[in-house]
């Protein structure tokens, strides 16, 4: 076992958890195929089962085949692809060096700012946990205190409909885009200019 934390807090940001994948296991094979093929509905169910969590976002999971990395290596991939600082990589070097085959990289954003406890499936072996270079502070657990501007006034940030934040009605986007496309086509087709 590694030092990987299986508890994700709602304020956690910029953390990557790495799992070794037994790609020969049928469920692992199905998970990898769904993530590779970008089949979100299949991947979501398989990821939830693999990590033991509800509502996990498959867009924040990455399948890495060590053989595909070549000389870049896993630490190079993490540094360049996920902006993991050198000191984080140095601390995780034993686990990163031991990684073989296929690795599943799970970004904190997969848990949509909700606290969860991971319960990895038997075909996932926890390897390491690294922090990316997040320049923004962690998200507040509850309603934030009003922000103070340089002039001394305070501003409270709207966070949703309960704060008066207006959202566009759902269901109008696609028909609106279709109508716009028809109008543009009509202008070009009938010399509207």
Task: Give 71-114 pLDDT, tens digit per residue.
Answer: 999 989 999 999 999 999 999 999 999 899 999 998 888 887 78
Residue 155 lies in a domain: no
Asked if residues 116 and 60 have their Cβ atoms less than 8 Å apart, the reply is: no
Find tokens 């991971």 and name the residue.
118
CA atoms 58, 60, 66, 67: torsion sign: positive
Segments in the chain below pLDDT 50: 1-2, 136, 139, 142-169
Residue 147 lies in a domain: no
Among 134, 157, 143, 158, residue whose Cα is nearest residue 12 = 134
Question: What are the structure tokens assigned to 130, written together?
Answer: 């690294």
Stated as kind and residue range, the H or E segment containing 155 is strand 154-155
Directed axis angle between helix 40-51 and helix 26-36, to 10°?
140
CA atoms within 13 A on the CB side of 18: 31
* Count of domains for the chain: 1
CA torsion 1→12→35→44, rounded to 10°?
100
Question: What are the structure tokens assigned to 69, written together?
Answer: 């990395």
Q: How far apart are the first and last CA of the chain?
A: 69
Residue 44 lies in a domain: yes
Residue 37 lies in a domain: yes
Residue 18 lies in a domain: yes
Residue 93 lies in a domain: yes
Residue 13 lies in a domain: yes
* Other Cβ atoms within 10 Å of 44 Cβ, number: 16
Residue 125 lies in a domain: yes
Among 130, 131, 133, residue whose Cα is nearest residue 92 = 130
Look up the pTM and report it. 0.65
Alpha-carbon gap, residue 38 to 43, rounded angstroms = 8
* Other Cβ atoms within 10 Å of 176 Cβ, number: 11
> Which residues constitute the domain of residue 60?
7-131
């Amino acid at each position: 076992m590694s030092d990987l934390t299986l508890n994700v807090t709602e304020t956690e940001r910029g953390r990557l958890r790495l799992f070794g994948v037994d790609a020969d296991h049928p469920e692992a094979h199905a998970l990898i195929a769904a993530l590779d093929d970008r089949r979100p509905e299949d991947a979501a169910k398989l990821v939830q089962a693999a990590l033991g969590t509800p509502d996990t976002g498959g867009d924040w999971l990455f399948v890495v085949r060590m053989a595909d990395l070549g000389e870049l290596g896993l630490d190079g991939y993490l540094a360049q692809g996920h902006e993991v600082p050198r000191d984080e990589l140095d601390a995780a070097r034993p686990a990163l060096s031991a990684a073989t085959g296929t690795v599943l990289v799970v970004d904190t954003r997969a848990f949509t700012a909700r606290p969860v406890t991971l319960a990895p499936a038997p075909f996932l072996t926890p390897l390491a946990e690294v922090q990316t270079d997040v320049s923004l502070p962690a998200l507040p657990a509850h309603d934030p205190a009003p922000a103070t501007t340089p002039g001394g006034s305070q501003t409270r940030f709207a966070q949703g409909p309960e704060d008066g934040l207006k959202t566009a009605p759902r269901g109008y986007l696609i028909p609106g885009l279709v109508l716009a496309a028809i109008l543009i086509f009509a202008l070009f087709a009938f010399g509207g200019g």
